[in-house]
Structure 1
Amino acid sequence: MRRWTTVAVAALIASAPAVLATPASATAAPDPVQALKRQFRPEKGVHITEVARMTYKGEASRTRVSGRIQFAATGPVAFDGTSYVVPEREDVIAPVNEPTDMTLVGRRLYLSWDGLPDGKKWVTLDLGDFFTAHDLSAQRITVLNPSVLNAMLRGRTGEPVSGGYFYQGKVTYADLYRADPKHYGSVLKALRISAPSKQTIAFKLWTSRDGLPTRLMTSETERNKRTSRSIDTRYTDWGAEVIVLAPPADETIPFDDVPLDDPEPKEILNVLPGRARDAA
């Protein structure tokens, strides 16, 4: 039976690309927040590819995710994609390296799963208000939330580079909480962050000439110094038609009804990409 660690997303980021400066432009960089809001149209969306790395007590794990995010007028509403573990070193075989398909529609998550009863292909979980459609990315900065993007870029000016603009800096969890108290209130609780103004995420963001995010690289070390994370996410095909459908009901089985011969699946919420449930 496929182990639930296939949905863990913690992975290495490739090295930061050189920022190639272009001749100074007389035109100010377009506002990424407004550019993002203009993308929120029904059945439109964006494609993402991501590599993330997490190191815990000297042990590193790396995972790749690729998928699509569907928008509505209110923002992201659905996701589908695939996650798979990548061996960290050539001499180490990943515990599980089979891909796991993931679909999130509203607050309901569907995961491909081997060994289910005949005719069943998906396990389904209701994830409640804690998850959103961009939470199957490992990024803790929910950059597709205009309020969060605004908080991240506040006071920063885009530097002209080849193909668009470049921003970099740090954002605290306190900044993120002020931008989205409901979501980051849950994150702070799950991560047990008691001093959010002192816990930072370093970021590098590239945008297109139109101001749309094309690449986000983040890194952070949790204050206990035992865990570090770095994530590299690329955003492509803005405005593409994206329609994410839930799997057929007769092919799904509720998580609580899965016959388990291993307690590990009960830890699924501890290893989902990005959302701070992996906090000890």
Structure 2
Amino acid sequence: MIATLTGAAAAALAVPALVAPANAAPASTAPAGAQAAPADPVSALRKQFRPGRGVKLTEQAKLIGEGRTQRVIFGRRGGVLEFGRKGVTASDLTSTFSLPGANKELVEEFKDMFAPSRTITVKGVSYTSSAFYAGAMPEGKKWLRTPAQPVSPGNPAQQLVNPLEPATLKAALAHTTSRRPGGTWDGARTVVHSGTITLGELYRVSPTVRGLLGAEPSAKSAPLRVSWQLYIGPDQLVRRAVSSWTQSMRGLTSVDLTYLNDSRYTGWGVKSAIKAPPAAQVAEFEELDLEGKAEDPFTRIIETAG
């Protein structure tokens, strides 16, 4: 099911489209620890890559219907991302999914998907505890072990401009078209840098995008433009990243969709020591009894919402 959902998200990027502007209302965040101000955001990010340290993430993803009249909250997730010497090496994130306005029958049918799920990723392996799998787990098991993925399975509204990847951050900032005051985030006064970057360029520089797509984008989809906003504090660290892109989903649903991701980064340098769950509580995928769970829920939900 994880592979199916990720495949559905990647397939959605095959169609070229125009990009809609990314807008999201500011919200207050907790103060961050003071940092010395490096010369640029990429240098500042690299200085954060210390084992046992990390940053807190709060993220929401939206699917916005054609004409911007049909708004759907697709998912939220939050937790801690832990750094090694080259970037993020571990994470502990809790995700929730909601579909405002959905009929009660749909919510009841997929109630397990609407329940919070937690995924711990460490040493190249992910462990997920989810109500969706609870009834299929062997007795005494509560975590499903799978290979780690650079993207969130089943969520097509990924943060395509991942500001925790130095090459991605550098490439995006090279396309900056405007700067303006960005308000206070995580206790820091920010400047919001805005611009656009193509899907093809993101594929070349970003492990996140390569993991999402699985293969190089076609000649038609590579020029798809992703709009982005990066809110950068005086210490040159990113406090908020917003990205959006629009494409046709016709054939799967009756409308074009805009995907909007809004990620907040707080507590830079927070101590972190993420560990795998106890082995006795971990199940392998082949151990699951998945009878009755073969249908792709992503497709059903989008079809019904559209």
User: Smaller-chain TM-score range?
Assistant: 0.7 to 0.9
Change (3 A) 1:55 1:236: same
Q: How many Å apart are 1:61 and its aligned residue?
A: 4.8
1:208 lines up with 2:233 in the alignment: yes
The residue number in structure 2 matching 1:69 is 81
Match of 1:174, as an amino acid?
G
Please give the alpha-carbon distance, in whole angstroms, between the structure 1 residues aligned to 2:124 and 2:89: 9
Is the contact made by 1:47 and 1:68 (CA closer than 8 Å) also made in structure 2? yes
The residue number in structure 1 matching 2:129 is 112
The residue number in structure 2 matching 1:46 is 55
Q: How many Å apart are 1:86 and its aligned residue?
A: 2.4
Please give the alpha-carbon distance, in whole angstroms, between the structure 2 residues aligned to 1:242 and 1:64: 21
Q: 2:242 aligns with which of 206, 210, 217?
A: 217
Q: How many Å apart are 1:149 and its aligned residue?
A: 0.4
The residue number in structure 1 matching 2:163 is 143
Gaps of 5+ in 1: 19-27, 272-280
CA RMSD of aligned residues (A): 3.4
Change (3 A) 1:187 1:122: closer
Question: 1:49-107 deviations in whole A, cap 9, x for unaligned?
Answer: 11111257879452110111000111100111111112323876743321101111132
Q: How many Å apart are 1:33 and its aligned residue?
A: 0.7
1:251 lines up with 2:281 in the alignment: yes
The secondary structure found in structure 1 opposite 2:97 is strand
Please give the alpha-carbon distance, in whole angstroms, between the structure 1 residues aligned to 2:194 and 2:48: 23
Q: How many Å apart are 1:183 and its aligned residue?
A: 5.6
Question: 1:153-174 deviations in whole A, cap 9, x for unaligned?
Answer: 0153754444022100111112
Is the contact made by 2:59 and 2:76 (CA closer than 8 Å) also made in structure 1? yes
Please give the alpha-carbon distance, in whole angstroms, between the structure 1 residues aligned to 2:241 and 2:270: 20
1:153 lines up with 2:173 in the alignment: yes
The secondary structure found in structure 2 opposite 1:34 is helix
Match of 2:47, as an amino acid?
R
The residue number in structure 2 matching 1:37 is 46
Q: How does 1:17-36 map to 2 (within 5 A)?
A: 17=26, 30-36=39-45
Gaps of 5+ in 2: 10-21, 28-36, 184-188, 251-255, 300-306
The secondary structure found in structure 1 opposite 2:169 is helix
Please give the alpha-carbon distance, in whole angstroms, between the structure 2 residues aligned to 1:122 and 1:67: 17
The residue number in structure 1 matching 2:186 is none
Q: 1:262 aligns with which of 292, 297, 303?
A: 292
Q: 1:100 aligns with which of 105, 117, 133?
A: 117
Using the TM superposition, name which of 55-64 and 44-53 deviates more: 55-64
Please give the alpha-carbon distance, in whole angstroms, between the structure 2 residues aligned to 1:169 and 1:252: 43
Question: 1:101-136 deviations in whole A, cap 9, x for unaligned?
Answer: 111113211111412222111011124xxx23x757
Using the TM superposition, name which of 193-202 and 167-176 deviates more: 193-202
Change (3 A) 1:118 1:42: same
The secondary structure found in structure 2 opposite 1:86 is coil
Is the contact made by 1:47 and 1:236 (CA closer than 8 Å) also made in structure 2? yes
Is the contact made by 2:55 and 2:265 (CA closer than 8 Å) also made in structure 1? yes
Match of 1:36, as an amino acid?
L
Percent of matched pairs sharing the same residue:
28
Q: How does 1:179-194 map to 2 (within 5 A)?
A: 179-180=205-206, 184-189=209-214, 193-194=218-219
Richer in helix (by share): 2
Please give the alpha-carbon distance, in whole angstroms, between the structure 1 residues aligned to 2:48 and 2:146: 29
